[in-house]
Structure 1
Amino acid sequence: MEFELRIVVEKVAISTQEVVERNTLKTYDIEAPQSILELGLRHAEQISLLSKVQNSILAEQCKLIRKDHKTCPNCGGKLGRNGTTKSKFHAVFSDHQLTIQKHRCQNPDCRWQQSSTTNAVFGSNIHPDLAKLQCEQGANFSYRQAQENLEKINTCHRSINNHTQISRLSAQVGEMLCQQNLMTPQSEECAEPVESIILQVDGGHIPIKEKQKRSFEALFAVAYRPENLQPIDNNHRTIVDKSCAISAREDNLETMKTYVLNTALKQGLNSNTIVTALADGAQNCWSVIQALQPHCKHIEAILDWFHIGKKFQPLLNSLAENERESLENAKWKLWHGQATEALEKLTILRNQIKDQKQKSKLKALQDYLQGNQKYLINYEQRQQSNQTFTSQVAESHIDSVINARHKRDGKMQWSREGAHNVLQIRAAMVSQEWQNNWHKAVLPALGVVA
């Protein structure tokens, strides 16, 4: 016996269960699949079927749009029908045309007419799920690559997914998150008050559009509770719960300081909290960290060992063996908290070296350590007591949040505000707050009731 499958949509009266309308969307022959390609529906067929289902639902919903509008909002007179409007609606996988009823006031002295486009009724002709997907693509990929990715998902080109639309929407949503991040978090957004928080602040450089300038700096911070820094294996650790902040704005660090405070509050910062803060030694990072002083019990500021190692390594690679041994001894002194002795060894080594280029690099290292001497600690002791002494984990965030998006394409250049907006989306993703922020900050700003 041969069969076929029919995908049918039925409109049924709830009270009587009578089928008042039936439409066959698609008919499929039932045949033995000759290959896995014939097993089930292909990607494009699935989207095509979904589009037909959407059309059936939308047709019925459109009949109910503004059905209860009886009186004129202008004069209170009676409204009468005034034809229909064809208007676009963009769902996640398909585009549709809605037929929406128009109304006009029957009072001859008023004659008010109602706009009946999708935008007029709902504030947008793009479904929020599509807008969210576009933002996620725009935050993770170049805008043109995001367009290509969405075309692959949809199996076709859709004008609503063009790179200009993705760029515009990403900037719009990023600005909404900027405003949200400036607001003091509500109590339900914050962890219980804690005794200790770790804060790591670092910077990453982004290629700039301005002529005669190569880049500008974005500051990144991650705050977390000590118990949330957990081992993956003997050599690697990960932060399982964190709050992140990032700013590319040039405003004397005011935005970044506010972001960092709110980020720390989410992790449980209070007046009794001791903040362990690590930075690479840049003055702007220390300035951001010290802005927390009025809000906590004490700040233990540490020049992080990861960046110290990065300063030493190029010199170690370039020096002769006997000179390299002297430099290793200076580094060993630093590791054991003997900063004065380490600086003395660097001075002796500088006097011994003849190469002016190496001499200059050694002086730069010495200046770096002297400028940050009050932040140097006994790193070996902290390691033995299982206390944080390096921002290596945060450095990986710089790669994932800034470099992966803003330096992936060497030809890409950014304005400060454009980069800042996109970075807000990426920071929300890294903090695992994107879903919550989308519902709390973005949808209301778009006029959508979730």
Structure 2
Amino acid sequence: MKIEIKLRIAAGDGAICEEEVLSFSKPHDQLEAIGLSLHEAKDLLGRLQEHIVAAQAARFAAERRRCAQCGRSLPSKGSTVIRFRTPFGDVPVSSPRLHRCACDAGKGKTFSPLTELFSEHVAPELLYLETKWASLVSFGVTVDLLKDVLPVGSTLNAETVRNHLHRTAARAEAELGEERASFIEGFPPTWAKLPIPEGPIVVGIDGGYVRARDGTQSHFEVLVGKSIPEDRENRYFGLVQSHDDKPRRRLHEVLREQGFQMNQDITFLTDGGDSVRNMAVAMSPCAEHLLDWFHITMRLTVLGQYAKGLAHHNPREADDAARELKRIKGYLWNGNHRRALPCIEWLIDDLDAVETEYSGMKAFRKAVDEFHTYIANNAGMIPNYAERRRYGERVSTAFVESTVNVVVGKRFSKRQQMRWSKQGAHLLLQTRTRVLDGTLRGKFEQWYPGMVSSNSAPQRETEMAA
């Protein structure tokens, strides 16, 4: 069976061009030969792309061969070749160079009209695909994936993909406004006149660590968060705390895109660290800042393990310590830090008086002392967790722990044996968080409005990353 595929292009001026794109033979009696093979499909797409791009470029150039002021035909000075990179191959485009008209006072005697059309030499669709998949998997795997399913150019490599991802992230970064000490806008009388807000928003912020490429340190901290509105889609955000100079602006933009307004209730759940706590300061007059229960119980669990170790040497003292820890936990669960702090101090005194051969005793005492400092520093952020739980309100950033896993662990993990610069990790976090919450495509459609029609029903990237 012989198959011939022809392309018919009708230009706007009434001209019609019909060309044979591909001709090949296929058997009809073999299962594996039914339909187009992947190789044949890629070949077909590549050839179609060349013809279509060439026709579009020629039409664009033809419309600019006359002077826009006097209508005189512009003489040609020759042509060059522009290489346009697309998801269906690198397409060479003939770019004519024209002499300027005498009535045109523009700079230079000649110009290339196609430089106006090809302001970038990478198709937005390819840039989007590279950014999306490189945000989910390694740069090398992204190259292999794209080459397996698309007729992309043979020169595509991991370094190119990384550079394109950085360029995308840098463009989004450039759109951020200036950092401010406070994002509270207006005054109480104006807040009262605002429309009734949507449901409350819960924001969890936590930190993780990435292996550093710089030899001066082995790891550096990244901050990751998740914003969960009651009536809208969840959003992720992330940054390298020691690199980013606009952390509060970044958080504010995420909230703004979720429709946040000044009279809307918002709860920030953090681990009590200075970096994460300062990020959410002065964000809203209706903000509530809470120490999450997860980090309290995590520290109490560690102290309980030390008590179990002490039981092998001093059972009575270990039993007393375990009971005291249980009482402290009960006070904190009910938001009674005023009773919890004296109990922690008594525990410190009791442990100082214990004589034991337990090798972990020094670490036990140090951990209890650090726990006292932790609770004392964050006492004002300790609510009545029991009451919040009864009313179905969040008390823990356990959901952010999973966010750290998703955003940081699965892409920056040790198994990939990669070390990161602070800038590289920060830029990747910007695109990865947008891929995970499904907003990357929307950002590209904002930059390139023509992409909207080709993606009327986009699939949520989060599902593909799960």
Q: Scaled by the length of structure 2, what TM-score is found?
A: 0.78
Offset of residue 129 of structure 1: 0.4
CA contact (8 A) 1:208 1:215 kept: yes
Q: Which among 139, 154, 158 is matched to residue 158 of structure 1?
A: 154
Secondary structure of 1:412's aligned partner: coil
Q: Which among 306, 314, 329 is matched to residue 302 of structure 2?
A: 314
When residues 394 and 119 of structure 1 are mapped into structure 2, their CA distance, relative to the original with a 3 A threshold, is farther
CA contact (8 A) 2:45 2:151 kept: no
Q: Which among 187, 206, 211 is matched to residue 207 of structure 1?
A: 211
CA contact (8 A) 1:304 1:390 kept: yes
Write the letter of the residue equivalent to 1:380.
Answer: A
Offset of residue 386 of structure 1: 0.6
When residues 212 and 309 of structure 1 are mapped into structure 2, their CA distance, relative to the original with a 3 A threshold, is same
Residue equivalent to 1:248: 240
When residues 264 and 106 of structure 1 are mapped into structure 2, their CA distance, relative to the original with a 3 A threshold, is closer
* 1:222-245 deviation digits (Å, cap 9, x = unpaired): 3332x35xxxxxxxxxxx612333
Moved more, 147-156 or 412-421: 147-156
Write the letter of the residue equivalent to 2:120.
Answer: S
* 1:351-399 deviation digits (Å, cap 9, x = unpaired): 2355112211222222212221111122111111111111111222122
Structure 1 portions without partners, runs of 5+ = 186-190, 229-239, 445-449
Write the letter of the residue equivalent to 1:399.
Answer: N
| Distance in 2 (alpha carbons) for counterparts of 1:124 and 1:274 | 44
Structure 2 portions without partners, runs of 5+ = 184-194, 312-318, 450-454, 456-466
| Distance in 1 (alpha carbons) for counterparts of 2:413 and 2:363 | 30
- Total equivalences in the alignment: 416
When residues 86 and 271 of structure 1 are mapped into structure 2, their CA distance, relative to the original with a 3 A threshold, is closer
When residues 169 and 197 of structure 1 are mapped into structure 2, their CA distance, relative to the original with a 3 A threshold, is same
When residues 89 and 47 of structure 1 are mapped into structure 2, their CA distance, relative to the original with a 3 A threshold, is same
* 1:137-184 deviation digits (Å, cap 9, x = unpaired): 22222323322332333378721x212211211111111111334379
Offset of residue 340 of structure 1: 3.2
CA contact (8 A) 1:306 1:391 kept: yes
When residues 82 and 409 of structure 1 are mapped into structure 2, their CA distance, relative to the original with a 3 A threshold, is farther
Write the letter of the residue equivalent to 2:329.
Answer: K
Residues 1:113 and 2:110 aligned together: yes
| Distance in 1 (alpha carbons) for counterparts of 2:220 and 2:128 | 28
Residues 1:371 and 2:377 aligned together: yes
* 1:327-366 deviation digits (Å, cap 9, x = unpaired): 2332233212232333333334332355112211222222
**Residues 287-436 of structure 1: pairs in structure 2 closer than 5 A:** 287-292=278-283, 295-296=284-285, 298-320=286-308, 322=319, 323-350=321-348, 351-352=350-351, 354=356, 355-409=361-415, 411-436=417-442
CA contact (8 A) 1:201 1:220 kept: yes
Secondary structure of 1:158's aligned partner: coil
Residues 1:439 and 2:445 aligned together: yes
Moved more, 142-151 or 367-376: 142-151
RMSD (CA atoms)? 3.5
Moved more, 148-157 or 280-289: 148-157
Offset of residue 248 of structure 1: 1.8
CA contact (8 A) 2:89 2:152 kept: no
**Residues 78-117 of structure 1: pairs in structure 2 closer than 5 A:** 78-105=73-100, 112-115=109-112
| Distance in 1 (alpha carbons) for counterparts of 2:246 and 2:12 | 56
Secondary structure of 1:290's aligned partner: coil
**Percent of matched pairs sharing the same residue:** 20
Residue equivalent to 2:28: 31
CA contact (8 A) 1:197 1:267 kept: no
| Distance in 2 (alpha carbons) for counterparts of 1:413 and 1:224 | 31
Secondary structure of 1:205's aligned partner: strand
Residues 1:282 and 2:273 aligned together: yes
When residues 284 and 106 of structure 1 are mapped into structure 2, their CA distance, relative to the original with a 3 A threshold, is closer
| Distance in 2 (alpha carbons) for counterparts of 1:216 and 1:192 | 42
Residues 1:223 and 2:227 aligned together: yes
| Distance in 2 (alpha carbons) for counterparts of 1:195 and 1:133 | 35
| Distance in 1 (alpha carbons) for counterparts of 2:431 and 2:2 | 48
Moved more, 174-183 or 376-385: 174-183
When residues 366 and 391 of structure 1 are mapped into structure 2, their CA distance, relative to the original with a 3 A threshold, is same
When residues 201 and 96 of structure 1 are mapped into structure 2, their CA distance, relative to the original with a 3 A threshold, is same
Secondary structure of 2:267's aligned partner: strand
| Distance in 1 (alpha carbons) for counterparts of 2:94 and 2:153 | 24
Q: Which among 63, 66, 71 is matched to residue 68 of structure 1?
A: 63
Write the letter of the residue equivalent to 2:252.
Answer: L
When residues 174 and 379 of structure 1 are mapped into structure 2, their CA distance, relative to the original with a 3 A threshold, is same
Secondary structure of 1:244's aligned partner: strand
When residues 23 and 262 of structure 1 are mapped into structure 2, their CA distance, relative to the original with a 3 A threshold, is closer
| Distance in 1 (alpha carbons) for counterparts of 2:253 and 2:101 | 54
When residues 193 and 346 of structure 1 are mapped into structure 2, their CA distance, relative to the original with a 3 A threshold, is same
Secondary structure of 2:246's aligned partner: helix
| Distance in 1 (alpha carbons) for counterparts of 2:35 and 2:393 | 55
CA contact (8 A) 2:202 2:266 kept: yes
When residues 357 and 27 of structure 1 are mapped into structure 2, their CA distance, relative to the original with a 3 A threshold, is same
| Distance in 2 (alpha carbons) for counterparts of 1:410 and 1:24 | 43
